[in-house]
Amino acid sequence: MKLPHKAHVAIVDGENFVLMRNDGQLFEPKLSQVDKPKLTATNFSAGVKHQDDIGQRKGATDLDELAHATAAAEWLNAKAVAGEMDDLVVIADPKTLGEMRRHYHTELEKRLVGEIAKTLTGETTERIEKAISQA
């Protein structure tokens, strides 16, 4: 994946959110941490209706994790609307990414240069850079 210079990378899961920036070149990302926002999960609108079929039957979907994904999307929306980020890549586990997509603002969608459906929270910066390069 091409990652423009100074592009932001949001790495999210159901509990964590780290924002990084590419200080490297288009095909050679060099990430540095910009922020680790403290989110308050207040939007529990996912409810039972957005759970997948297996999650509904087994009660496996954690609404707190979905609310965290929503809070991350809302935080990114605010930054995009304020013009504080131009290019963005979102890396999140598939369930978190799916919930985030439900809440993307059109301004955020305009700034998305890519998404990676993979759990990379807690991984080293080098592993994240490699995942972006290989995507």
Q: Domains for the chain: give ranges and CATH numbers.
A: 8-134 (3.30.420)
pLDDT tens digits, one per residue of 53-69: 555 555 555 777 888 89
pTM of the model: 0.85
Distances (CA, A) of 51 to 20, 55, 59: 30, 6, 9
**What is the average pLDDT value for the chain, to the nearest integer?**
88
Distances (CA, A) of 95 to 24, 87, 118: 29, 23, 10
What kind and span of H or E run contains 41? none
pLDDT tens digits, one per residue of 29-39: 999 999 998 88
Q: Which of 47-56, 80-89, 126-135 is least confident?
A: 47-56
Give pLDDT, residue 48.
Answer: 46
